Amino acid sequence: MPKIMKKITSISAFHSMLSLPSPLHPLVSVIRLEEANLVYSDIWQSFQREFYSIALKRDARCKTRYGQKHYDFDKGIMSFTVPEQVQSLVPEQVENAKGIVLLFHPDFLAKHPLANAIRTYGFFHYAVDEALHLSEKEEADITLLLEKIHEESSRIDRHTQEIILSHIGLLLSYARRFYERQFITRHKVSQELLDRFRQLIVNHLEDGLLLEKGRLTVNYLAEQLHLSPDYLSDMLRTHTGQNAQQHLQHMLMEKARELLSSTSMTVAEIAYYLGFEYPQSFNKLFKSKTDLSPLQFRRSLN
């Protein structure tokens, strides 16, 4: 019998499990980890929350698992989680945690532009060991916004939602800026990842592995690099202006041009060689990148 996933359905329920008073607002809350005291329960072994979480953790010795990865939090680290992500906690390791956590339910975003915009922030899907490391000044800026959200959550009137969501939107914009700074300051590491990413593609092309394994995907390449797909794409976009999918397509089309110009392989054979299940898919992508069909490109060489 499959294991039933335990769900924490409301922010109020989560407060109760942390031995905290009821939230000031049912759909949004800012909690201080120093005030939390986890109620021991087997739910912490594997659970899902039906609301967003943005955590700023300081000096925390808590080891947490997000998806399939473990991470030990250190100073000034932010992490972002989405509803329904499988998580786990070890209660004994949370007791000395310090920091602030923002919780907000998807219903709080209803009919607001942020409900759609939040999907564009890839860091909500980063692995936990890809968390955001903050400088002292950056940490102060984020802390101030979290405190404003906490203060505003006690003033429930017709302006509350708009004001809090404007603060959350600003917080997410800061996070995007800080992540781009992190990609840049880790230029050497990012360049090494880019080189490994490209080499993985080259190896598959040169060794004919696409015939055996099928078309390369960003998810597969990210897994080989021990990164989340969103982190890989955002890192590449910051350094090159192209995301992972664009890089992959560019290299596949470069190989396609090489094969069209230097071999007698048919278009269908080239499509299968590059991992495309259907030649039509290959033709469509090739034309979108070159304004020519594969056959037109080959004829233009003569």
Q: What is the pLDDT of residues 276-295, one digit of tens each?
A: 888 999 999 999 999 999 99
What are the start and end residues of each CATH 2.60.120.280 domain in the chain? 6-185
pLDDT band at residue 260 using 50, 70 and 90 as cut-offs: very high
Long-range contacts: 40-47, Cβ < 8 Å, 24+?
40/91, 41/17, 43/6, 43/8, 43/17, 44/88, 44/89, 44/90, 44/91, 45/88, 46/3, 46/5, 46/6, 46/86, 46/87, 46/88, 47/5, 47/6, 47/7, 47/8, 47/86, 47/87, 47/88
Are 181 and 127 in contact by the 8 Å Cβ rule? The answer is no
CA distance 162 to 108: 10
pLDDT band at residue 183 using 50, 70 and 90 as cut-offs: confident
Which pair of tokens denotes residue 163?
A: 């004001």
Q: What is the pTM of this model?
A: 0.78
What are the start and end residues of each CATH 1.10.10.60 domain in the chain? 188-300
Residue 93 has what pLDDT? 60
Long-range contacts: 279-282, Cβ < 8 Å, 24+?
282/256
CA distance 272 to 274: 5
Residue 211 has what pLDDT? 62
Residue 101 has what pLDDT? 95
- Angle made by CA atoms 183, 187, 193, in degrees to the nearest 5: 85
Average pLDDT, the chain: 87
Which pair of tokens denotes residue 20?
A: 């905290």
Residue 64 has what pLDDT? 44
Q: What percent of the chain has pLDDT over 70?
A: 88
**Range list of β-strands (E), 148-262:** none
Are 8 and 48 in contact by the 8 Å Cβ rule? The answer is yes
**Residue at token pair 């998580």:** 87
Domain 188-300 fold: Arc Repressor Mutant, subunit A (1.10.10)
- Angle made by CA atoms 234, 240, 241, in degrees to the nearest 5: 70
Question: What angle, 0 to 180 degrees and rounded to 10, lies between the N-to-C axes of helices 187-206 and 160-185?
Answer: 80
Architecture of the domain made up of 6-185: Sandwich (2.60)
Residue 59 has what pLDDT? 62
Say whether pLDDT at 220 is over 50.
yes
Residue 24 has what pLDDT? 92
Residue 95 has what pLDDT? 67
Residue 39 has what pLDDT? 81
* Start-to-end Cα distance in the chain: 64
Highest mean pLDDT among 6-20, 29-43, 209-223: 6-20
> pLDDT tens, 121-143?
999 999 877 888 888 899 999 99
* Mean of pLDDT values over 102-113: 95
The conformation of residue 73, written as its DSSP 8-state character, comes to -
Residue 62 has what pLDDT? 46
Say whether pLDDT at 212 is over 70.
no
Long-range contacts: 201-209, Cβ < 8 Å, 24+?
201/248, 201/251, 201/252, 202/251, 204/275, 205/251, 205/252, 205/255, 205/274, 208/273
pLDDT band at residue 216 using 50, 70 and 90 as cut-offs: confident
pLDDT band at residue 155 using 50, 70 and 90 as cut-offs: confident
Question: What angle, 0 to 180 degrees and rounded to 10, lies between the N-to-C axes of helices 244-262 and 279-290?
Answer: 100
> pLDDT tens, 43-99?
888 889 999 999 998 764 444 443 444 434 345 789 999 999 888 877 666 667 789
